[in-house]
Chains A and B, each alone.
Chain A
Amino acid sequence: MPSQPPTDNPAGMDTESLDADTLKAIRDLVGHLLRSMKTMRLYAQTNTMYQRALADTGTRLAAHVSEYGPLSLRIDRERMLAGGETVHQDDDPKEGLAFRLYSDGLRGLTFKSGLDEVEARTAMQIIAEGASLATGEDDDVITLLWNAELDHLLMDVVDDDPPQGELVPTHKIEKPDERPQKLAQLVKAQAEAPEPPKRVAYGADVLKVFTLTDRDGAYLDDLMRREQEVDPAQDLVSILSDVLTIEENPDEFADTVGLFGTLITDFLSQGNLPMAASLGRGLVSCVASRKDLTTAMKERAMKELLTLGGGKPLAALEEGLGLLFGTEDTEPTITSPAKREQTMSALNTYLTLLRTTNLRTYLELASRTSDGQVRDMLCDHAVRMVPESHDALTGLLLELNTQLVICATDVLGRVGNTSDLLHFGSLTKSPDVNVRRAALEAITSIAGGSHPQVIPYLADPDPRLRRRALGIIEKGQMTEAVGMLREIAADPGFGEWEIAERRAVFFALGSLGKDELVPMFNRKLQGVKRGLFGGTKGEDDALLAIMGLKGAATESARQALEAGKACPSEKVAAACSGALRDMTVVTGEKA
């Protein structure tokens, strides 16, 4: 997909005015695309909402081009235009899409006829996600779109470097006067030669040598495939190791060793311990393999290694952290207090070397261990790295790695504010109980207690979360939870819950519902008295009702419990007495 130098009317850039219908269609389309892109930014890529929004952008864009022809958009600092008319204005001049694209250098986009849904989706995903899709430094939207090789997309990109000067060879040979004569003589000599000139040609056998065979094709395919599989960082380590191996001059050797040290420090500070350790091993290996090194050169190399890792060789650091976090091939393994001490020491050293302010680095580490103390330590570090805007943190909530999500949720719970609460919606419904738990704690922490997002937890599949939520709701006296509690109590599955939990629900119902629910509890109790419910079920229901009345703790509730003391069931009667003893009626007097 070519990029065009900017001109007054770059190829494909339609500046002619458009008819009203087309303009409306473009505005509608752009508006819809922007809404879809917003949705995409809220969810992880594997989320169905994301996938749906992405597919929708592709379909709509391709359909528009199919119906209306090429779509050309000019990009201004704060708006997008089509046919000279504004079709989108950024709400926030510094955060809007037009500004983002404009900053990257994009001045126009043309979606050409023939654009299919796949191309449209790819383009939209890149435009929506922007730099978050970048793998290389300085990769911006333009580079990402360019790399995508979209045949039906043209870009108008600002020219940073207009061509300067003329292309003239500085040693241009002036046509000497003799040249025409030489040329004429040359031709004349050929024309006057006794024999016709022999042709310079290559026979088929020779030409065949230069024809690529199938075998050549397979060879090239293999070569290209291997090139694409190369890990550039590892290749760099390999080259640097080679360089170090051949350095003979002590000063150059020291210079290269210093280079190793710089790179190792850089990798460590970014949290890339494997690469740092790989370089360290390269350094050690080079030193070991060279018999020609002077003592000074060897000492120089080892000194570099020792200053890294806070005095600990990198290998020890790597080993300690490997025990703690595991490696690609091993699980975390801490088998004794001594080992633990070793690992904690390594971790402390590592954290002092880690210079990055990228909180993801710390959270990723935290996600790799189940050790609570270590997690807390790392999350504490992460808390210090959270920038003013919590976008980076809330973005992590959409990750696939549930442990990472949990750590991010934990941190957000510590630093978040009420505006962050909207990000927990999907987490409260996560299939992973630990994620749901982390979200519940974070919500509670941010809200300083109760929050409507806690209420759905009353029906959580996990009983511990249900109990926790109940406790929060009761403590917060969240009367808005009454409806949910009533539904739960009425649900046929409620009968499967443990009795203790069911009593807790009823207590909460009463506590929150007060007099409103007393008649219901009274009916249940009376039902037992009248022997309407046989067996333990009847007693169970009565006991639940008693808890409800106890929770209500109103005068009406007290009276109902008093009446319950006369219940034929001794258990029920005893429970009523007990409830009365414990209950503090709203007047504040013990019953």
Chain B
Amino acid sequence: MSDLDERELQALGWEVARQLFVLIRIARTHGANNEAWGPALGKVNSAVKQADGIALRAVDGALYVGDVRLKVDRENYTAQEGVIRAFGTHCVGAVEINPGFDAMDLKNLLTTWGSSSPPTPEQGLELLSGALGDGEGIHLVKAPKPKSEEQKDSRHMAKAIYIRTLTAVEDVMESVKINQAFPLKRSKRVMQRLVDNLLADPVNLLGLTNLRCYDEYTYHHSVNVCVLSLSVGRRLGLPKPMLAHLGIASMFHDLGKSRIPVDVLNKPGEFDDHEWDMIRRHPVYGVKTIVKLKGADELASRVVTGSFEHHMGYDGSGYPKLPRQRTMSLYGRIISMCDCYDAMTSARVYNRTPATPERALKLMLSKSGKAFDSVMMKVFVNTIGIFPVGTLLLLDTGEIGVVFQANEDPAQGDRPYVRMITDTHGRELDTPEEVSLTETIAGGKFRWNITRILDPNDLEMDVSEFFL
């Protein structure tokens, strides 16, 4: 599309919408040979040419041209309703018309559209696609499944609790930095909400851990490790009080970093020996900070464990190095895995190209039994999936999807749930559709198969946009 301002786009968009509405109506009432076709098609052609291509979409009862919503007025109301209705009866999500389109293709399309009353919307789309044939100038996009109210609400709630947790982490970390206190009471309440939300809807919160923010890396990282840890804890069937403790311990596992100068933490290059020494001390700093500010009550003790153990390594090969081997706690084992995973998959100042989720998992699996408890690794993989949440997949149909949920059945672990972000031609969908890769077609074959794991960095893509 050319650089038009919004007003111009609105005008052109409405023009196309009106004409489509008119033509579909004409097709319904008068067939393909009415003289009104000519002028109407001409207007469409003109508008498409001016806009250098128009993609007219119907989303949640409104029409869009690109990202611009067409504002309804009295004049256009009928056209909008008519177009949305027509889209709905034929399962069309969007019509894309490129400059130089074949007017006959459009006529065929609209004639079929107007004259058909398909038994199901999906069959309607098939009819239209058949009428369109191989026309390059015009493209139809399938309408996504409508989101239930529940789905909309649960995603909203997941985002709300994620933000709330971020705020709580930030408040506590800032409070610790200036040595005021370690206010855990509010964090406890936030943790209760987080646990409840995760238990009710484990999918959306886990998806939000794909959110990366290297300006405020520590806070997001803390929340992500918390959500990941709780997801593992949920998988283990931990009771709520234990989940709450695990959550708090994981949320503040990096509290010790508050003692490390920011310029060291954010250094883009390699650390020198002194800086490495400081970094390696942050677990101990965390222990001392917590004990100083909170004393030795039960909750503080749990947080201390998380801080002390999260880099220790299951086999003691990490840090801090102890003269005698310490048996890592359950919480330590969980937090260390989640911390490592989130760190590897996050863009950092010194590493703008993070590992893909799948690669990170492979690296971690290579350390199973050494840095990580091997049985706990199994649980971790079962939680986030063999193709972890956020993995970008190329399918044999040409569609690209992003994993949003692991398959609960380990025997079908390589067939996760994905959000389709492109169509079979690689064109991005305005509204991703959620599918299960276990879906079969006639003959019992799988409808989709994974052919490649994609690196979003190669495509300059941030997968978190598909989870917000």
Known contacts A138-B184, A188-B426, A210-B382; is-contact A196 B396 (Cβ 8 Å): yes
Interchain nearest-CB distance for B373 vs A (Å): 8
- Cα–Cα distance between A161 and B171 once the two chains are bound (Å): 11
* B298 lies within 8 A of A135 (CB): yes
8 CB-based A-B contacts, threshold 8 Å = A1-B196, A137-B299, A182-B458, A190-B396, A212-B382, A227-B329, A242-B322, A243-B288
B-binding residues in A (CB < 8 A): 1-3, 5, 105, 135-138, 142-143, 146-147, 149, 157, 160-173, 176, 178-180, 182-188, 190-191, 196-202, 204, 207-212, 216, 219-220, 223-224, 226-228, 230, 232-233, 235-236, 238-240, 242-243, 245-247, 255-256, 259, 262-263, 266-267, 275
* B214 lies within 8 A of A146 (CB): no
Interchain nearest-CB distance for B398 vs A (Å): 4
> How many of B's residues come within 8 Å of A, CB to CB?
95
* B424 lies within 8 A of A201 (CB): no
Additional 5 contacts, C-beta under 8 A, given A167-B211, A180-B427, A197-B451:
A2-B200, A167-B208, A183-B428, A220-B375, A236-B301
* B330 lies within 8 A of A223 (CB): yes
Which residue of B236, B464, B465 is within 8 Å of A224 (Cβ)?
A: B236
Interchain nearest-CB distance for A31 vs B (Å): 31
Which residue of A136, A179, A208 is within 8 Å of B298 (Cβ)?
A: A136
Interface residues of B in 426-462 (CB under 8 A from A): 426-428, 449-454, 458-462
Question: Which A residues are CB-close (under 8 A) to B393?
Answer: 200
Tell me if A's interface is mostly helix, strand, loop or mixed: helix
Which residue of B208, B215, B425 is within 8 Å of A170 (Cβ)?
A: B215
Question: Which A residues are CB-close (under 8 A) to B460?
Answer: 173, 176, 178-179, 182
- Cα–Cα distance between A216 and B376 once the two chains are bound (Å): 9
Interchain nearest-CB distance for A204 vs B (Å): 7
- Residue B59 interfacial (CB < 8 Å): no
Which residue of A190, A200, A233 is within 8 Å of B296 (Cβ)?
A: A233
Question: Which A residues are CB-close (under 8 A) to B26?
Answer: none
Which residue of B199, B321, B330, B398 is within 8 Å of A190 (Cβ)?
A: B398
Which residue of A5, A136, A196 is within 8 Å of B299 (Cβ)?
A: A136
Question: Which A residues are CB-close (under 8 A) to B301?
Answer: 232-233, 235-236
* A161 lies within 8 A of B168 (CB): yes
Interchain nearest-CB distance for A506 vs B (Å): 62
* A179 lies within 8 A of B326 (CB): no
* B188 lies within 8 A of A138 (CB): yes
Which residue of B214, B236, B304, B459 is within 8 Å of A236 (Cβ)?
A: B304
Residue among B189, B305, B462 having the largest count of chain A Cβ atoms under 10 Å: B189
* A259 lies within 8 A of B292 (CB): yes
Interchain nearest-CB distance for A381 vs B (Å): 24
* A161 lies within 8 A of B322 (CB): no
Question: Which B residues are CB-close (under 8 A) to A242?
Answer: 308, 320, 322, 326
Interface residues of B in 358-414 (CB under 8 A from A): 375, 378-379, 381-382, 386, 393-394, 396, 398, 400, 410-414
Interface residues of B in 4-60 (CB under 8 A from A): none
- Cα–Cα distance between A208 and B382 once the two chains are bound (Å): 11
Question: Which B residues are CB-close (under 8 A) to A160?
Answer: 186, 189
- Cα–Cα distance between A505 and B333 once the two chains are bound (Å): 75
* A240 lies within 8 A of B216 (CB): no
- Cα–Cα distance between A173 and B466 once the two chains are bound (Å): 13
- Residue B291 interfacial (CB < 8 Å): yes
Known contacts A3-B196, A167-B163, A255-B288; is-contact A184 B426 (Cβ 8 Å): yes
Stretch at the interface among B124-132, B238-246, B266-274: B238-246
Residue among B393, B414, B427 having the largest count of chain A Cβ atoms under 10 Å: B414
- Cα–Cα distance between A246 and B285 once the two chains are bound (Å): 13
